[in-house]
């Protein structure tokens, strides 16, 4: 059955064995192959790998067979490889793109098909539409069995770790972190990030304790491998039990990072983005544009004014962030989901590098995570954030969209609305500089309601009014 396949915020995702099947993965790979062949020479080949979800290594092999069947060389790294490592491999091997089999932070029963360009970054929306348009019926897919592809030299297996580790060594000196004597709890969320930080930080006074490090596609002790509450709760309990200095929480494919302070309190992803920007601007003294999605923090605009750097806002997803980072040579780019990318690397989220930079921030300032938040707020003032996700059948989307299109509230939770942005969802800017955003997820049948405000007591009311605007309350 040749179902329609649509690429969302970050590639295509589906329910395993329902719509995410071997045939549909092969169809996606054929669409990507046709797109690459139409663009020009393909001798550089395509990097192919995947995560630790159910059968990801086999889905990756299926995609590799199709690329090889189209005469495109494949650099094959198999399963269990973090997304940033796959992305960096594109640049290191001078490939023309990548196929990454992962559903990132989605629920256990999902899997996905991500594509990357020659920069190792997300392909822009126009490129994704062009790939979609080339996805054929299964009868038109070309395949070359893996063994034959390998025998013909069209598929070569490689270990991506050495080149990636060498790249990290160019970007950050980890010796001070090793010498700091921290106790670092790493929650790998049963995913691809397992083993990397213990390997990088071994050999010093700092102790790295890793949990949820085995492969377990059902992701026990969490709803999904997404580094936000309640999924982080088990890791934060372990931090309190151990008396660790900090918790580093990596998502299922290792491209996002969450942070817990020394008390076991979650530091939300907007705070983390502001801390990373502060680190680069103040501690490292670097300058350059900041790129952010519209769903992340207004603290970045305040930091931009303090340090004299421009801040650019995009739609949600790295398919918008990555092209903008390349266009403006951004210092940092990121989004509300906990994914951050850095200049001098690849325009792709990297949870492993972000974790090392956050640890280096602790070393260089001598401050604990909670003290870092206090220091950040001394610069930009307190900011409070929350998000509500509600499952939302696609058939109800037109009705909710019509309500939101017509919505023109004068006030939200008593705060005057000063502007409405509709480039990707519905964002209502409020007089305190805070905002409410309502948008449909590009990867799941979910409607998301987000807010940030300078008044903590207003967060529940702002979220409630967001749900009401969409007809959900």
103-155 pLDDT, tens digit each:
999 999 999 999 999 999 999 999 999 999 999 999 999 999 999 999 999 99
33 and 108 in one domain?
yes
pLDDT of residue 2: 62
How many independent structural domains does the chain possess? 3
| Number of C-beta neighbours around residue 467 at 10 A | 15
Helix (H) or strand (E) holding 78, with range, is strand 74-78
Same domain, 186 and 126: no
Say if residue 203 is in the same domain as residue 322: yes
Q: What angle do CA 465, 468, 473 make, to 5 degrees?
A: 115
Q: Are residues 376 and 389 in the same domain?
A: no
Of 361, 380, 399, which marks where a domain is finished?
380
Q: Pick out the chain residues at pLDDT < 50.
A: none
Helix, coil or strand: residue 48: strand
Q: How many C-beta atoms surround the C-beta of residue 343 within 10 A?
A: 16
Quick one: 41 exposed, middle or buried, by C-beta within 10 A (0-12, 13-18, 19+)?
exposed
Residue 319 is assigned to a structural domain of this protein: yes
Residue 452 belongs to a domain with what CATH number? 3.30.310.50
Looking up residue 305, the CATH number of its domain turns out to be 3.40.120.10
Q: What confidence score (pLDDT) does residue 393 get? A: 78
Domain contains 167: no
In a shared domain, residues 209 and 87:
no
Q: Name, in order, each residue with C-beta under 8 angstroms of 25's C-beta and a sequence gap of 6 or more.
A: 59, 62, 63, 101, 113
Q: Report the alpha-carbon distance of residue 332 to residue 32 in Å, rounded.
A: 28
Q: 353 and 337 in one domain?
A: yes
Query: How far is it, in rounded angstroms, from Cα 157 to Cα 139?
Result: 28
In this structure, the answer to whether residues 311 and 393 fall within a common structural domain is no
Please indicate, yes or no, whether residues 184 and 157 belong to a single structural domain of this protein.
no
Q: Residue 78's domain spans which residues?
A: 12-161
Residues 389 and 374 in one domain: no
> Are 151 and 192 part of one and the same domain?
no
User: 217 and 154 in one domain?
Assistant: no
Residue 395 contacts by C-beta under 8 Å, 6 or more apart in sequence? none
Q: Do 148 and 294 belong together in one domain?
A: no
What is the pLDDT, as a whole number, of residue 284?
A: 98
| Predicted pLDDT at 86 | 98
Q: What is the pLDDT of residue 442?
A: 73
Q: Quick check: is 391 in a domain?
A: yes
Mind listing the pLDDT tens digit for each residue in 335-344? 998 999 999 9
């Amino acid at each position: 059955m040749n179902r329609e396949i649509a690429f969302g915020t970050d590639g295509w995702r589906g329910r395993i064995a329902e719509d995410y099947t071997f045939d549909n993965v092969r169809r996606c790979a054929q669409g990507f192959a046709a797109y690459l062949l139409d663009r020009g020479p393909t001798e550089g080949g395509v990097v192919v790998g995947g995560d630790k979800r159910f059968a990801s290594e086999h889905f990756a092999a299926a995609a590799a067979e199709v690329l090889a069947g189209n005469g495109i060389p494949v650099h094959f790294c198999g399963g269990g490889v973090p997304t940033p490592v796959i992305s960096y491999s594109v640049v290191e091997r001078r490939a023309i793109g990548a196929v990454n089999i992962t559903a990132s932070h989605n629920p256990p029963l999902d899997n996905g098909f991500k594509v990357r360009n020659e920069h190792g970054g997300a392909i822009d929306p126009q490129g994704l539409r062009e790939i979609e348009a080339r996805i054929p019926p299964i009868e038109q897919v070309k395949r070359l069995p893996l063994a034959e592809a390998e025998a013909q030299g069209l598929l070569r297996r490689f270990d991506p770790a050495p080149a990636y580790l060498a790249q990290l060594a160019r970007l950050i000196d980890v010796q001070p972190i090793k010498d700091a004597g921290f106790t670092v709890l790493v929650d790998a969320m049963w995913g691809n990030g397992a083993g990397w930080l213990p390997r990088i930080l071994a050999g010093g006074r700092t102790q790295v304790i890793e949990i949820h490090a085995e492969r377990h596609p059902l992701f026990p002790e969490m709803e999904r491998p997404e580094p936000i509450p309640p999924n982080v709760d088990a890791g934060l309990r372990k931090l309190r039990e151990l008396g660790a200095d900090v918790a580093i929480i990596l998502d299922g494919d290792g491209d996002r990072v969450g942070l817990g302070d020394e008390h076991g309190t979650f530091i939300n992803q907007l705070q983390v983005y502001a801390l990373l920007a502060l680190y680069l601007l103040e501690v490292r003294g670097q300058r350059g544009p900041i790129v952010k999605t519209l769903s992340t923090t207004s603290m970045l605009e305040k930091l931009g004014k303090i340090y004299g750097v421009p801040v650019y806002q995009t739609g949600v997803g790295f398919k918008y962030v990555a092209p903008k980072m390349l266009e403006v040579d951004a210092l940092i780019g990121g989004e509300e989901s906990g994914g951050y990318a850095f200049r001098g690397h690849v325009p792709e989220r990297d949870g492993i590098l972000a974790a090392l930079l956050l640890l280096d921030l602790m070393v260089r300032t001598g401050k604990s995570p909670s003290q870092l938040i206090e220091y950040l707020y001394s610069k930009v003032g307190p900011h409070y954030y929350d998000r509500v996700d509600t499952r939302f059948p696609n058939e109800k989307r037109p009705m909710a969209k019509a309500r939101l299109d017509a919505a023109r509230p004068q006030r939200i939770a008593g705060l005057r609305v000063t502007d409405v942005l509709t480039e990707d969802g519905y964002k209502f800017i409020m007089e305190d500089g805070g905002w409410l955003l309502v948008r449909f997820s590009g990867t799941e049948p979910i409607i998301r309601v987000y807010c940030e405000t300078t008044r903590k007591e207003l967060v529940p009311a702002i979220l409630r009014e967001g749900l009401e605007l969409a007809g959900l309350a």
